[in-house]
C-alpha cells in the first residue's frame, strides 16, 4: 500500500473575499488556524469550494503559497491543480510542488471531457511531471464524466497516484471501487452526507465542506469510524444531517459562505456567476444552524 496522505477530515477550504471581490488573505489565515486548531487533518486549497475556477493564475499560486506557509507543516496542504487542459494542469501542478504543496487534487477534465483512455493518459502525464502524491477527484455531476472502475485500477498502478476523492454519490459504485482498488488507492468521501457509509467500506476520511463550519465535529465523525464505532458516528452524522444537506441548498460554495457569515466569520461574497442565496434558502440554512446551536 502507498503512503496515506491523511486520515480523518480534510477541509475543502473556502476562499474568503472582501466586498470588492478581492481575496481576504487575513481571513483565510484565520480559517486555516480555526480548522487546524479544531482537528482538521488536511487543508485542501483551491478546490471547487475555494472558487478556483474564478481565480487568476497569480491568485491560484498565491493561495497555495499562503496556505503552505500558514499551515507550517502542522497538517498537509493539498493543492487543487486540475484542469481540462493537460499541459496547463502539468504547469500548475509543478508550480504547486515548488510552492511546497504536500499533495495535489486533480479533477477530471470538464466540458471538453475525454474517453477513459484519455483519462488514463491525462492523469498519468500529470503524475509523471511531479514527485508528490496525487488524489484523483471524481465528480460527474459537475464535470459530466465518470472514472470507470477499470480506469481506477489502471491509474492506481502509478506510484504518485495514491487516492481518490469520490463524489459520485453512488454507494454501490463506491463498494465496487473499494473491492477493486483497496490495495492501491485510498478513498475519501467527497460528500459530507456519505462519510459513514464510505468509511464503512474502508475509506480513510472525507474532503469536507462541512468542516469549514464544524471542523471538530466532522473530524469526530471520521475518528469514530476509524475506531470502528459506527453507531456513535452515525448518531452524530444524523444529528448534523439537516445542516449538512442545507450546505448544498444552492450551488457550493454559496451556502457554506453564507453559513460562515452567519457565524460571524466574515467569509464575504462569492464571485459571479455565483450569487447570494434567496431569502427562502437563507432562512432554511439559518434554521438548521440554530437547531444544532451553531448560531
Q: What is the pLDDT of residues 8-42, one digit of tens each?
A: 999 999 999 999 999 999 999 999 999 999 999 99
Instruction: Tally the domains of the chain.
Output: 1
**Domain membership flag for residue 174:** yes
**Domain membership flag for residue 76:** yes
| pLDDT tens figures, 230-262 | 999 999 999 999 999 999 999 999 999 999 999
**Domain membership flag for residue 121:** yes
**Domain membership flag for residue 294:** no
pLDDT attached to residue 207: 98
Domain that holds residue 131: 8-227
Element (H, E) at 172: helix 171-181
Report the catalytic residues. 137, 165
Look-up of cell digits 502509478: 158
Q: Please choose, from the candidates 33, 277, 5, 265, the residue with its C-alpha nearest in 3D space to the C-alpha of residue 136.
A: 5
CATH at residue 46: 3.20.20.70
Tell me what the mean pLDDT of segment 104-130 comes to.
Answer: 97
Q: Inform me whether the pLDDT recorded for 53 exceeds 80.
A: yes
**Domain membership flag for residue 157:** yes
**Domain membership flag for residue 246:** no
Burial class (CB in 10 A: 0-12, 13-18, 19+), 63: buried
Burial class (CB in 10 A: 0-12, 13-18, 19+), 149: middle
Cβ contact 77:43 at 8 Å: yes
Q: Whole-model pTM?
A: 0.97
- Classify the phi-psi angles of 293: left when phi > 0, otherwise alpha if psi is within -120 to 50, otherwise beta: left
The percentage of the chain sitting over the pLDDT mark of 70, rounded to a whole number, equals 100
State phi, psi for 256 to the nearest 5 degrees.
-70, -35
Rg (CA), the chain: 18
**Domain membership flag for residue 26:** yes
Look-up of cell digits 465518470: 146
Residues 6+ apart with CB under 8 A from 2: 133, 159, 162, 184, 186
pLDDT attached to residue 169: 92
| Residue 114 pLDDT class (50, 70, 90 cuts) | very high
**Domain membership flag for residue 222:** yes
Amino acid at each position: 500500500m502507498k503512503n496515506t496522505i491523511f486520515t480523518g477530515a480534510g477541509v475543502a477550504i473556502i476562499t474568503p473575499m472582501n466586498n470588492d471581490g478581492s481575496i481576504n488573505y487575513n481571513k483565510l489565515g484565520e480559517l486555516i488556524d480555526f480548522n487546524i486548531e479544531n482537528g482538521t487533518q488536511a487543508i485542501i486549497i483551491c478546490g471547487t469550494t475555494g472558487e478556483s475556477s474564478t481565480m487568476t493564475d497569480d491568485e491560484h499560486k498565491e493561495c497555495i503559497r499562503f496556505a503552505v506557509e500558514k499551515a507550517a507543516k502542522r497538517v498537509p496542504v493539498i493543492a487543487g491543480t486540475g484542469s481540462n487542459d493537460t499541459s496547463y494542469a502539468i504547469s500548475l501542478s509543478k508550480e504547486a510542488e515548488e510552492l511546497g504543496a504536500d499533495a495535489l487534487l486533480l479533477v477530471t477534465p470538464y466540458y471538453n471531457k475525454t474517453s477513459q483512455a484519455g483519462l488514463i493518459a491525462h492523469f498519468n502525464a500529470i503524475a509523471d511531471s511531479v514527485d508528490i502524491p496525487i488524489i484523483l477527484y471524481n465528480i460527474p455531476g459537475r464535470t459530466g464524466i465518470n472514472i470507470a472502475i477499470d480506469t481506477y485500477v489502471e491509474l492506481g498502478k502509478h506510484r504518485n497516484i495514491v487516492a481518490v476523492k469520490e463524489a459520485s454519490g453512488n454507494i454501490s459504485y463506491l463498494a465496487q471501487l473499494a473491492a477493486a482498488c483497496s490495495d492501491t488507492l485510498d478513498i475519501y468521501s467527497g460528500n459530507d452526507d456519505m462519510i459513514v457509509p464510505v468509511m464503512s467500506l474502508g475509506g480513510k476520511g472525507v474532503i469536507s465542506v462541512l468542516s469549514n463550519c464544524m471542523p471538530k465535529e466532522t473530524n469526530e465523525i471520521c475518528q469514530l469510524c476509524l475506531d470502528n464505532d459506527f453507531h456513535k458516528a452515525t448518531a452524530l452524522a444524523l444529528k448534523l444531517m439537516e445542516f449538512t444537506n442545507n450546505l448544498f441548498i444552492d450551488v457550493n460554495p454559496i451556502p457554506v459562505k453564507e453559513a460562515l457569515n452567519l457565524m460571524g466569520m466574515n467569509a464575504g461574497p462569492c464571485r459571479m456567476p455565483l450569487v447570494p442565496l434567496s431569502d427562502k434558502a437563507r432562512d432554511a440554512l439559518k434554521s438548521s444552524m440554530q437547531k444544532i446551536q451553531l448560531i
